[in-house]
Amino acid sequence: MTEFASAAPVPWIGVAFILGLCIGSFLNVVIYRLPEMMRRSWSRECAEFLDERGIGHDGQIVLTAEGPFDLARPASRCPQCGHRIRPWENIPVVSYLLLRGRCSACQTPISWRYPAIELLTGALSAVVVWQLGVSATTALVLLATWSLVAMSFIDIDHYLLPDSMTLPLLWLGLLANSFSLFVPLFDALWGAAVGYLCLWSVYWCFKLLTGKEGMGYGDFKLLAALGAWMGWQLLPLIILLSALSGIGIAVLQMLFAGRTRDQHIPFGPYLAIAGWIALLWGDGIVRQYMG
């Protein structure tokens, strides 16, 4: 398979793009449902702890039934009219174009972000295969890419980087580097530790000086995960690229989108952008700079 891929890379890039479109459709579900699943879980835990839902006649806590809600249930529906999305209405990008961006039942506009995330995931997947070819390493980088896309949009929507995504990404990086796929395990371990402590230190320095929280703990864990994948050597590049991309996009938003200086800016997407660039081209960028 690898020999065929090297002889005819274009078909495999196309396969990666189509696969990425399908994964992007699933990521839309993750981005919407995972924070809501977490909210419901937190609500149940708080209710059980604080007895806020009432006590039954037998002394047991009575919880309000909300029905099953996870990545598979209930089936996707139009939030406006409740129309169940049929399989042919859920084809990545194609269905959006055929439906002209509207619900087939009530004609409510469908957000353009759904096909945009699908196209973004497809394009990033194609770039990964174009750069790395077809191999086990490519499969791992694709998993990391898809995780970074999902976490970025969750952070944009909720200022939240779920542990259920950052921690598996960290452990996957360490496991991959136990075979030295990207860097030696020693560098990966120190990358995870230094990555976490870098932003943890910035957080506490900023809080002691201003009394405010400048970032969340999810950012620490995401940088630790990136350090576990690429080692401590690329952490300065990741921090620099994330800062530059964050400043650049913030300035553009202030100029053209009316964003003010007082509005919070999620740092996770910029870490994800920087980490993805460093994962594919970090060594080359460092060599170019040092040269």
**N-term to C-term CA, the chain:** 37
Give the model confidence (pLDDT) of 223-244 as tens digits: 999 999 999 999 999 999 998 9
Clarify whether residues 40 and 121 are in a common domain.
yes
Domain check: are 145 and 235 in the same one?
yes
Average pLDDT, integer, range 108-137:
93
State whether 78 and 173 are in the same domain.
no
Domain total of the chain: 2
Does 43 lie in the same domain as 8? yes
- The model's pLDDT over 82-96, given as tens digits with 9 standing for 90+, comes to 788 888 888 899 988
Work out the percent of the chain whose per-residue pLDDT is above 70. Answer: 89
Alpha helices for the chain (secondary structure H): 2-7, 9-50, 94-98, 113-132, 136-158, 163-177, 185-210, 217-230, 235-256, 268-290
At which of 92, 115, 134 does a domain end? 134
Cβ atoms of 114 and 90 closer than 8 Å: no
Q: In percent, how much of the chain has pLDDT > 90?
A: 53
Same domain for 6 and 31, yes or no, is yes
Q: For residues 188 and 254, state if they share a domain.
A: yes
| End position of a domain, from candidates 85, 119, 134 | 134
Which of 79, 107, 134 is the last residue in one of the domains?
134
Model pLDDT, residue 61: 46
Residues 147 and 58 in one domain: no
Per the structure, the complete domain to which residue 272 belongs is given by 136-291
Looking at the structure, do residues 119 and 1 belong to the same domain, yes or no?
yes
Whether 220 and 109 map to the same domain: the answer is: no
Q: Say which range, 99-108, 149-158, 159-168, has the weakest mean pLDDT.
A: 99-108
Residues 175 and 185 in one domain: yes
Residue 75 near residue 84 (C-beta atoms within 8 A): yes
Entry pTM:
0.88
Indicate the burial class of 132 (C-beta count within 10 angstroms; 0-12, 13-18, 19 or more): middle
pLDDT digits (tens, 9 = 90+) for 26-37: 999 999 999 999
Query: In angstroms, rounded to a whole number, what is the distance separating the alpha carbons of residues 74 and 9?
Result: 39
Q: What is the CA radius of gyration of the chain?
A: 22
DSSP annotation string for 56-122: -TTSPBPPPP----SSSSSPPB-TTT-PBPPGGG-STTHHHHHTTTB-TTT-PBPPTHHHHHHHHHH
Please check whether residues 155 and 279 belong to one and the same domain. Answer: yes
142 and 115 together in one domain: no
Q: Minimum mean pLDDT among 81-90, 122-131, 279-288: which range?
A: 81-90
What is the C-alpha separation between 48 and 50, in angstroms, rounded? Answer: 6
